Amino acid sequence: MSKVQFHEMNDSRRIAFRHLAGDGPALVFLPGYMSDMAGSKATATMEWAAANSRECLLLDYSGCGTSSGEFGDGALSKWREEILALLEARGIDRVTLIGSSMGGWLMLLVAETLGTRMAGMIGIASAPDFTDWGFTEEQKATLAAGKTVFEDNPYGSEPTSTHAKFWADGEAQKMLDREIMINCPVRLLHGQSDDDVPWGTSLRLAEKLRSPDVQVTLVKDGDHRLSREEDIALLLRTIANLPKE
């Protein structure tokens, strides 16, 4: 595993990343909400890249992992800016994005910006527009009033917090009500036992993508994380079989 480095943004945000040199297109893993590059899927992706001489980039969004900042100041548009800045700073041209959960939403936002630089995408329980369908009307009213919503966290001891700034920014970045201007090959993986993101979201996303090369793989007993050994194996097979150009 390559060492952790830091990229300093113009406003002094320090973004932690690992960058492995190799053949392109570069694999860029985008973690989910309240997650970071130390997760099992991100780690497995970089290990696969090292074994197959592929370029790979992992990162922590500001306020997450070992990057600077407060999580409550995070937003999709802010994190997209960080991803794009890292790609430019590291001289990465052709890109295959891999997005997990919220990272799947960021993946779409980044891909639309990169346009023809995109070689492919892999979404894992992609969660575009979850500020819309992922909250009750009462929670939305609380967020619209500028307050934070706290929910039980099945993956840790700390509650899952959604801050008003993130929610408002997400509402402005919704994508599933329009054609998504992405033309590269896309592979969407989703567990049908996902209690956080309905698996129908991946089917809806597939319909909205402009690309004609979109495949959806449903894992009947797969949960939201898709991080079991067999799920990781599926992800790595998907990476290996994705067209490089």
Active-site residue list: 101, 194, 224
Task: List the one residue out of 223, 243, 226, 225 whose CA is nearest residue 234.
Answer: 226
List the beta bridge partners of residue 30.
Answer: 99
Exposure string over 4-32, b if 16+ CB within 10 A, otherwise e: beebebeeebebbbbbbeeeebbbbbbbb
Whether residue 217 contacts residue 190, with contact meaning beta carbons closer than 8 Å, is answered with yes
Whether residue 226 contacts residue 125, with contact meaning beta carbons closer than 8 Å, is answered with yes
H-state helical runs in the chain:
40-51, 76-89, 102-114, 130-133, 137-144, 164-171, 200-208, 229-241
Q: Return the DSSP state at 7.
A: E
Chain-centre distance of CA 192, in angstroms?
A: 19
Q: Are strands 14-20 and 5-8 parallel, antiparallel or unpaired?
A: antiparallel
Residue 163 one-letter amino acid: H
